[in-house]
Structure 1
């Protein structure tokens, strides 16, 4: 499904159930601790059967950690990779990431709960960080492809190109984390995608000021 397409009724129900299960496991874990929470407890609070729980998550840990961040469609990724060297790559990446996160707009409460649980449970924090590292790796692959496409004279094995792609990825992830944190801490009903755009714009402005 394209990030700009509205999900159908079945998909909306699926997303609502997935969010309800995550909200339930996080709420119970925050109140009781991980060891005292069972799949039956989670299912009861989310008003589904244990069988339904396992249709969405393979384990309690998987529900605690939640979904991995995903990137936009293959078509949008290819468009970003082959935009050409003359465009504003930072703004283009911001647009790609904003589109990637449009389906997370209903997750603010879940994100806030997960942050609270992670503060008390290093185990959960470690698992969540592993998913973020996976996302960072996928993002770096895309950025590396863009740099190769923009600078074919360097070649994909160029150490300079690889190091630049890593630096650009880490900067982009920092801006994304800034946007996500501002969104989670805000009471305003402003979409996460707008925070992403604003964080990248602030980053761009600050780099101009330091020249």
Structure 2
């Protein structure tokens, strides 16, 4: 995997503002409860205007929940979809997902704070789970494309294709959840992207032992 390119000044500022808004809403929610937090409060703590806030998030709930995890760039997705049968599929998927985590999710302090606040906010926990479900749906669509590349005959049995893709996606989602939890708990490697690779490696090793 190639190294992440150096970010330009504008992108660094955008990410800093994006993070500051999330840290503000989470800190305020922890202090007084999400229902007592306003967009004006968040903007003040994050040192942005309410207009800037809405350039980043549609609501205070959206800022609390954070972005829906993405599946890296389209170029990375295409590389996975057309990767062919060489090498095991789990390792190739781990490479795809680790690239995305390295760019978007590797913020231990933010993740820890969100997890802490969500323990006392069932409504917002449900919203966060919904965003992760969206992530799984995106991932399953990509897995379907890859299965069709490796086994075009599956197009003749769409039910079998969907069932296999769903199973593979759920296994991958479990590995991702394992990586997130271990990383948040401070065990293993300090990088989330590396923790993802480790969790997928462990899943692959277990399937080989039991296969």
TM-score of the superposition, structure 2-length normalised? 0.93
- Which consecutive residues of structure 1, in runs of 5 or more, have no partner in the other structure? none
Residue in 1 that maps onto 2:51: 51
**Root-mean-square deviation (CA), in Å?**
1.8
Q: For residue 197 of structure 2, what is the aligned residue in structure 1?
A: 197
The answer for the alignment partner of 2:163 in structure 1 is 163
Q: Give, in angstroms, the shift of residue 156 of structure 1.
A: 5.8
* Partner Cα separation in structure 2 for residue 81 and residue 170 of structure 1: 18
Give the 3-state SS of the residue equivalent to 1:154 in structure 2. Answer: helix
Q: How does 1:81-160 map to 2 (within 5 A)?
A: 81-104=81-104, 106-155=106-155, 157-160=157-160
Structure 2 Cα separation of the partners of residues 63 and 101 of structure 1: 19
- After TM superposition, the score normalised by the length of structure 1 is 0.93
**Equivalent residues of 1:3, 1:103 under 8 A apart:** no
Identify which range, 175-184 or 96-105, moves more after superposition. 96-105
Residue 38 (structure 1) aligned with residue 38 (structure 2): yes
Unaligned runs of 5+ in 2: none
**Cα offsets for 1:161-198 (capped at 9, x unmatched):** 21111000000011011111111111787211100000
Task: Write the distance in 1 (CA, Å) between the matches of 2:156 and 2:76.
Answer: 21
Instruction: Return structure 1 stretches of 4+ with deviation > 3 angstroms.
Output: none
Q: Which residue of 2 aligns with 1:183?
A: 183
Change (3 A) 1:114 1:159: same
Pick closer, same or farther for the CA change 1:106–1:85 going to 2, 3 Å.
closer
